[in-house]
Structure 1
């Protein structure tokens, strides 16, 4: 069973045009931190995904500053596979308590995760659990890894990283699994074009782990053919990725692969 609850304290986005991003509840709210004796009137502790939500909100604010009638906005959905009434009550309470720009909360059983994502027209699902990313991809939903946020992660600029072996970006190797990622990339590319080259609240980067200069260039061309011109590109040629990730500090890592790993 899938149930979706509206947050009355957040203005709902124009759903046909909004880019819906679903974030796993455990990435935003620490439901285990308060202990089992906590009352439903007490909010959960804030989780590691809060800076991401603040950065997404900033993108929306800047878009509306440019055009008050803008409909191409991010719409954040919190999704949880815990369905108890207490959990639902405390989750909504927590979202209100931290004043998070989350318009809807979806609750479903673990086996109904994909159904919950589909019913809310999700374009990208974020979690720290690679198994759920794989499950979403198998169900036709683009999934990505939410990076462990630190105080160094910006809340004024949303940073998206596209990551993979350079050879994986070749169109001939990408299967239908990549189609939802193409759709999301095109929407982000269109949104990025709303801003100038500098001082943008939305930046994208390409990080390729291996491959020649030519295959790295092809990876850039592939993303452009999807409608996304990235701001930065890093061709690691087999070098460790951690130093670059420490420099770029992406909130999200979107892994491009012919087949998602289970």
Structure 2
């Protein structure tokens, strides 16, 4: 059974205009062995970065509708903890519009019902389940803990870095990048709260150039671009500290 609770403490976004992102609850709030307490998870810097972007957008235009609309989704049997999850989120000042309580078997249903455009989780199996239903998904990697909270950093890379996604994700991927590109255009070249990074693992400058052209065809201009030409990826990822990674298969 799926249930959704609106956060009355947060101004609700226009879901037809906003960029709807769902984050697995387990990546935001982790259970502890200390009574009923919960500690913050790897997605905290991401949530803070999304809030920073929204704050800048509204400051520039109070009527702005292209905002991040954030949902917290349970992907396990935690419905009985709903009150504690809501109160913990509010206690930490996290801007979550809605809470979707579901289980392992039906959490994808909650993503579809809420027209989620990007699902983020730390669990590969959850990402695969959502991808199979046409929902763009990405993993929160080990860099997430050290990602900046004052700037959203999204890395676009080839499939040597991430898992190939099904062909049915093409529409979802294109829509996400188009909206993110439009959001990035709201800001200037310097001191933007959104940074779009591009990295290719192989193919040299030609591969990188083709990738940049593909992104521009969807209204996305990169802030930084890197061609590794076979060099190790780990050191670059540690330097860039992206909040999450997305691949290029579905934009070809």
Normalised by the size of structure 2, how large is the TM-score? 0.91
Q: In structure 1, how many angstroms separate the alpha carbons of the residues matched to 2:79 and 2:22?
A: 21
Residues 70 and 96 of structure 2 are in contact (CA less than 8 Å); yes or no, is this contact kept in structure 1? Answer: yes
Consecutive unaligned residues of structure 1, counting only runs of 5 or more, are: 169-173
Q: 2:55 aligns with which of 51, 61, 74?
A: 61
Give 1:80's aligned residue: 74
Quote how far apart the aligned CAs of 1:151 are: 6.5
SS of the aligned residue for 2:106 comes to helix
Q: In structure 2, how many angstroms separate the alpha carbons of the residues matched to 1:177 and 1:19?
A: 16
Give 1:121's aligned residue: 115
Quote how far apart the aligned CAs of 1:71 are: 0.4
1:25 aligns with 2:25: yes
Distance 1:219 1:61, change over 3 A: same
Give 1:14's aligned residue: 14
Consecutive unaligned residues of structure 2, counting only runs of 5 or more, are: none
Residues 18 and 65 of structure 2 are in contact (CA less than 8 Å); yes or no, is this contact kept in structure 1? Answer: yes
1:91 aligns with 2:90: no
Q: In structure 2, how many angstroms separate the alpha carbons of the residues matched to 1:10 and 1:34?
A: 30
SS of the aligned residue for 1:125 comes to strand
Quote how far apart the aligned CAs of 1:95 are: 0.6
Give 1:186's aligned residue: 178
SS of the aligned residue for 1:81 comes to coil
Distance 1:5 1:149, change over 3 A: farther
Quote how far apart the aligned CAs of 1:148 are: 3.0
Quote how far apart the aligned CAs of 1:202 are: 0.4
Deviations 1:203-246 (A, max 9, x none): 01011111232222111111111221111111111111111111
Deviations 1:54-96 (A, max 9, x none): 1100000000111000000001100102344431111111111
Give 2:220's aligned residue: 228
Q: In structure 2, how many angstroms separate the alpha carbons of the residues matched to 1:133 and 1:151?
A: 19
Distance 1:19 1:210, change over 3 A: same
Give 1:239's aligned residue: 231
Residues 143 and 238 of structure 2 are in contact (CA less than 8 Å); yes or no, is this contact kept in structure 1? Answer: no
Residues 19 and 123 of structure 1 are in contact (CA less than 8 Å); yes or no, is this contact kept in structure 2? Answer: yes
Give 1:171's aligned residue: none
Q: In structure 2, how many angstroms separate the alpha carbons of the residues matched to 1:16 and 1:83?
A: 30
Residues 79 and 102 of structure 2 are in contact (CA less than 8 Å); yes or no, is this contact kept in structure 1? Answer: no
Give 1:212's aligned residue: 204
Give 2:124's aligned residue: 130
SS of the aligned residue for 2:105 comes to helix
SS of the aligned residue for 2:187 comes to coil
Q: In structure 2, how many angstroms separate the alpha carbons of the residues matched to 1:151 and 1:78?
A: 18
Q: In structure 1, how many angstroms separate the alpha carbons of the residues matched to 2:77 and 2:143?
A: 26
SS of the aligned residue for 1:254 comes to strand
Normalised by the size of structure 1, how large is the TM-score? 0.88
Residues 162 and 256 of structure 1 are in contact (CA less than 8 Å); yes or no, is this contact kept in structure 2? Answer: yes
SS of the aligned residue for 1:110 comes to coil
Quote how far apart the aligned CAs of 1:256 are: 3.3
Residues 7 and 105 of structure 1 are in contact (CA less than 8 Å); yes or no, is this contact kept in structure 2? Answer: yes
Q: In structure 2, how many angstroms separate the alpha carbons of the residues matched to 1:156 and 1:231?
A: 16
1:146 aligns with 2:145: no
Residues 13 and 69 of structure 2 are in contact (CA less than 8 Å); yes or no, is this contact kept in structure 1? Answer: yes
Q: 2:40 aligns with which of 30, 46, 51?
A: 46
1:100 aligns with 2:86: no
